[in-house]
């Protein structure tokens, strides 16, 4: 089932998510539906809050497949930063230059509940950081320098 994408200023986007305690049939169904939604939308990442569910689950599109990350967290960030243009399903037509760590090491559970640790760099590193931010209630424009962030927030709140 294709899920509805929640748009700013929906309160679910600012809420810290809950850890997944057990991978139940409902969680598996959510993951399946999130993957279907991401396929249909053509994006590279989707976090559960973006579909109205306050759980620590994200889906990332890699070269070969869609991967689920349950309870992901960044355990190490490289010192070098890169700045790339980011968009977000929850902010249609908003594209911003965001600075993030070029390399990260992240830990998560896969769909079977097995712990995985991955080292990634570049574009996928930025995608994973963006999606993990969603799980913490951090919106991508909040990563901008202070004055830019205020300007964007003011424009968004006018709409």
What's the gap between Cα 107 and its chain centre?
15
- Are 38 and 22 in contact by the 8 Å Cβ rule? The answer is no
Is-contact 8 15, C-beta < 8 A? no
Tell me, letter by letter, the H, E, C secondary structure of 112-132: CCCEEEEEEEHHHHHHHHHHH
Nearest alpha-carbon partner for 125 in 144, 105, 110: 105
- Catalytic-role residue among 36, 84, 102, 131: 131
Whether 131 is catalytic is yes
Cα 28 to chain centroid distance, Å, stands at: 18
How many residues are there in the chain? 159
Q: Taking a C-beta distance cutoff of 8 angstroms, is the pair 129, 100 a contact?
A: yes
Distance in angstroms (rounded) separating the CA atoms of residues 99 and 83: 4
DSSP-assigned letter for residue 6: P
Active site residue ranges:
131
């Amino acid at each position: 089932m294709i899920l509805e994408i929640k748009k700013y200023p929906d309160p679910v986007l600012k809420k810290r998510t809950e850890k997944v305690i057990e991978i139940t049939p409902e969680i598996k169904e959510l993951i399946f539906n999130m993957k279907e939604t991401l396929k249909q939308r053509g994006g590279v990442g989707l976090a559960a809050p973006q579909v109205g569910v306050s759980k620590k689950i994200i889906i990332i599109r890699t070269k070969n497949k869609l991967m689920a990350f349950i309870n992901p967290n960044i355990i190490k960030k490289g010192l070098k930063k890169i700045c790339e243009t980011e968009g977000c399903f929850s902010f249609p037509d908003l594209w911003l230059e965001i600075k993030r760590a070029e390399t990260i090491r992240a830990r998560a559970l896969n769909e079977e509940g097995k712990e995985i640790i991955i080292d990634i760099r570049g574009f996928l590193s930025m995608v994973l950081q963006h999606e993990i931010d969603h799980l913490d209630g951090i919106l991508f424009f909040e990563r901008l320098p202070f004055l830019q962030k205020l300007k964007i927030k003011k424009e968004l709140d006018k709409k």
